[in-house]
A and B are shown apart, each in its own frame.
Chain A
Amino acid sequence: MDTKADDEGNLPIVVEFTGGLELLFSNQRKHQIALPSTDENGRSANLAFLVRYLCQSLMTGRRKDMFVTDGTVRPGILVLVNDADWELEGEDQYELKRNDNILFVSTLHGG
């Protein structure tokens, strides 16, 4: 696991998964990652890029459809940027900053 970000243009961020999503990511809730600060096209890394990056680099489970459908996080998952709904922050266009905390919450239904 990456604990320290390098200074070569990588953003140190914390990514967390709850509500069962952690099962897709080595059954680990909290990941400290160094996200490339620019995406495939050289634009600043945003949440859309983070989601692609997580699918490629961090996901260990094969059930990608439990996380992403139609190119974005599936219905029933909330994405939180520093504990606030990403819809308050520009959704997948939000540009990540150093030390951001991104939380993916899958809804629970048991009771």
Chain B
Amino acid sequence: MDLPNNPVLRLRAQIASLEGVLADLKTQLIDAEAYYNQSASAKADSSGHLQIQTFSSSPFQPLNHHEKTFESLIDQLDLSQEDNWGRSGKLTLQEHTRYGRQLIMPEIGLRGQLRFKNAAALIVGVGGLGCPAATYLAGAGVGTIGLMDGDTIELSNLHRQILHTQKWLGLSKVDSAVEKLMERNSENHYVAHHCNLDQKRAVETMRKYDLILDCTDRPSTRYLVSDAAVLAGKPVVTASALRTEGQLMVLNNPPKSLDNPGGFCYRCVFPKPPPAESVLSCGEGGILGPVVGVMGVLMAMEALKILSPLHPDHGYQDPTKASCDPIPPSLLLYSAYSNPPFRSIKLRGKRKGCPSCSDTATITEESLKSASSDHAAFCASTSPAPPPNTSRISAKEYSKVREATESPHVLVDVREKVQFDICHLKGSVNIPYSDISRDPEASIDKLDHAISDGNSNTADGVSLYLICRYGNDSQLAANTFKTLPRFQPYAKYDFKGDISGGLRAWTQSVDPDFPEY
């Protein structure tokens, strides 16, 4: 039985599994309470007041607990003010141990660790980028981590969204992430935002944070994150990944303020949105887990660098001083199958008259809230809808065609070969839409060959159907074919239609055993 496809079984399994976790936590709590009560009374018995164990066992004179034998950089720093969540700046003994390995790095040191502890980072999108980014920020001790995502976990997320696990299928990505991050580091404060970034509340939400990580997956949100962050005065680390490649930029760094023009923004680099039909999602284009993982990890590193900039006065002396110079605007490219795989390219930087970040900016907090700057529409406006193909049939109707023995026909599957090889309907012929769009005549020749090789049914007027994954490419292929002479009435092919909804519809309404991928 396929668990994820049966909601009843899946929910039962999740409840059983979570009840197991809960029982385990209760046992741990009982143990912890027993241990805590015991040791607390033991300490109180021996000295009358609580003392730190290591000090009382030292060979030196017992200390008055008010007297300090040590001092640290904390004493010289003014980090006493509380942050948005009422946290102040000092490290506990446990934190010295927990962060010891990064604390001894000259790039971080005590100053950096305290900055992390008092910092608040907002991770927008808890998917392939957000999971690794959040993991490292939580591990590093970033005191407040906001997690924003309105989605629930699907089975196809798990190969790359490393915080989410099987038992959380169908549940909130944000809740799953908070649970896992708490297991890693419960010292931090996690703020759950069970929603997607909303134009009306974006600026207000970002004001509570020091830094924004754009881990989203569509162009409209990327513009919104950048616009809102400029208005809120927060730097942005933005990255994206598709197939075998990733890209990363740091925006609005330093942030725009009254006395600083600020760094470049997303609109400076891409003033116009890409045509919607040129944008592929991970579901359409595919994505390799480690590719998006690498980008998420790089985001975490850039975030840590922003939260704790190198400070020449405190500890770390960079011999080249290079990192203290302003960072030239750049875009990092990662391409897993290229050599070299990493490449940093120099960008033009701030654009004069940028509607978001220049002196003459037209995007304001008010305009962002109102419908006048609808980001989804801004990015969709350049997308002409494909001309509808009038001859479409449903998967159910087509299944009847297949059942009828007196209706010989040809089914052309226009997915890419790699997808066709994963699984296809018996007897279908593969001619990828990319080939059809490149050279329609040659792809018909290929069809002619496939048909005459396969069986004797080569008479004129062969019934022809088209299918693809979701029913988009089959429609485009149909439109291309219909313009060809060989598809005109009374010619060789009698085009019957394409299957609306594609193979997904086939799985849903005809054969649930046909794999969805």
The interface bits of chain A over 12-51 (1 if a CB of B lies within 8 angstroms of the residue's CB, else 0) are 0000001110010000010000000000000000000000
Task: Report which of B240, B295, B347, B437 forms a contact with A109, defined as CB distance below 8 A.
Answer: B240
Q: How large is the interface on B (under 10, 10 to 19, 20 to 34, 35 or more residues)?
A: 35 or more
Given contacts A20-B280, A85-B346, contact A109 B219 (CB under 8 A): yes
Docked Cα-Cα span, A66 to B280, in Å, equals 12
The interface bits of chain B over 206-232 (1 if a CB of A lies within 8 angstroms of the residue's CB, else 0) are 000000000111110010000000000
Interface residue stretch chosen among A2-10, A75-83, A92-100: A75-83
Docked Cα-Cα span, A33 to B258, in Å, equals 49
Tally of A-B residue pairs with Cβ under 8 A? 115
* Across-interface contacts of B269 in A (CB, < 8 A): 78
The answer to whether B438 and A65 have CB atoms under 8 Å apart is: no
Enumerate B266-288 residues with CB–CB distance to A below 8 Å: 269-275, 278-282, 285, 287
The answer to whether B285 and A87 have CB atoms under 8 Å apart is: no
The answer to whether B278 and A66 have CB atoms under 8 Å apart is: yes
* Across-interface contacts of A108 in B (CB, < 8 A): 240-242, 245-247
Docked Cα-Cα span, A87 to B345, in Å, equals 13
**Closest chain A residue to B125 by CB distance?**
A111
Given contacts A61-B438, A69-B275, A76-B270, contact A107 B247 (CB under 8 A): yes
A71 within 8 A of B: no
B335 within 8 A of A: yes
The answer to whether B348 and A85 have CB atoms under 8 Å apart is: yes
Docked Cα-Cα span, A69 to B240, in Å, equals 24
Give the most central of A19, A62, A88, A108: most B CB within 10 Å: A108
The answer to whether A109 and B343 have CB atoms under 8 Å apart is: no
The interface bits of chain B over 249-273 (1 if a CB of A lies within 8 angstroms of the residue's CB, else 0) are 0000000000000000000011111
* Across-interface contacts of B274 in A (CB, < 8 A): 74-77, 106-107
* Across-interface contacts of A69 in B (CB, < 8 A): 275
* Across-interface contacts of A58 in B (CB, < 8 A): none
Given contacts A105-B333, A110-B292, A111-B127, contact A80 B270 (CB under 8 A): no
Whole-angstrom distance between the Cβ of B356 and the nearest chain A Cβ: 16
The answer to whether B348 and A87 have CB atoms under 8 Å apart is: yes
The answer to whether B243 and A20 have CB atoms under 8 Å apart is: yes
* Across-interface contacts of B451 in A (CB, < 8 A): none
Whole-angstrom distance between the Cβ of B502 and the nearest chain A Cβ: 20
The answer to whether B335 and A18 have CB atoms under 8 Å apart is: yes
Q: Which residues of A contact B (CB under 8 A)?
A: 18-20, 23, 29, 60-63, 65-66, 69, 74-78, 80, 83-85, 87-88, 103, 105-111
Q: Which residues of B contact A (CB under 8 A)?
A: 125, 127-130, 215-219, 222, 239-243, 245-247, 269-275, 278-282, 285, 287, 292, 295, 331, 333, 335, 338, 343-348, 382, 434, 437-439
What 20 new A-B contacts, CB under 8 Å, besides A29-B338, A75-B275? A19-B242, A20-B242, A61-B438, A63-B437, A65-B275, A66-B278, A74-B275, A75-B382, A76-B274, A76-B278, A78-B347, A83-B343, A88-B348, A103-B345, A107-B247, A107-B274, A108-B246, A109-B240, A111-B130, A111-B241
> Can you report 21 residue pairs joining A to B where beta carbons are below 8 Å apart?
A18-B245, A18-B335, A19-B242, A19-B245, A20-B280, A74-B274, A74-B275, A74-B278, A75-B273, A75-B274, A75-B275, A76-B274, A77-B274, A83-B345, A87-B348, A88-B346, A109-B218, A109-B219, A109-B242, A110-B287, A111-B241
